[in-house]
Amino acid sequence: MTFSVLEYLSMLLSVVSIAIAITSLYLTYRRAYVTRLTKLSNRNIYGSRRYKRVKRYILFRFVCFDETHVSEFSKRVTSHIYAFLGPLIKTRCGISMVTVRSDLGRGIIRVSGDSECVKYVLTAMSLRHVVDGIPCLVIPLRTSGLVSRLRRYLRT
């Protein structure tokens, strides 16, 4: 049995067409499976970054050089941290004042967002010294996941 070149070529062409058909069936099935998973989980599988929103509490101390500015400064801390961070980080990070003790010069800020938000807020608190002409320093003391651990430092 001898085969001619045309017979070899036709056999090769049929094997390649079968391989292309199998590959296209596999890719179609895979795309349908991924689409079904995407609809079930209601999020994009490819390109989505899944992160856990964390809540951290930061105990800080503020030192004002003039005692009349303490109450003004405690009201404006969060707005000035937002101003320092900018609009893009402001949308990802939530900052709220939990408590302020003006007599001790200490307070607690709640930061919610991804884990990078705490680093951004600590940087903003460390670098922000003069706020609207109010000469006060903000010194972050501790960071915790539970507010009850930080309230101990406000009692003394």
In this predicted structure, the answer to whether residue 146 has a pLDDT above a threshold of 70 is: yes
156 vs 85 pLDDT, higher one: 85
What residues does each domain of the chain span?
1-50, 54-155
Residue 115 pLDDT exceeds 90: no
Residue 130 predicted with pLDDT over 50: yes
- Structure token pair of residue 109: 């800020």
Q: Is the pTM of this model over 0.75?
A: no
Alpha carbons 103 and 95: distance in angstroms, whole number? 23
Q: Give the rounded percent of residues in the chain with a pLDDT score beyond 70.
A: 76
CATH class of this structure's domain 54-155 = alpha beta
Edge-first strand order for the sheet with 94-101 is: 94-101, 106-113, 54-64, 134-144, 130-131
Whole-number pLDDT of residue 45: 47
Band of residue 51 on the pLDDT scale cut at 50, 70, 90: low
- Residue with the bigger pLDDT between 128 and 56: it is 56
Residue with tokens 């109450």: 71
Residue 146, C-beta contacts closer than 8 angstroms, at least 6 positions apart? 57
Over range 129-155, report the average pLDDT. Answer: 80
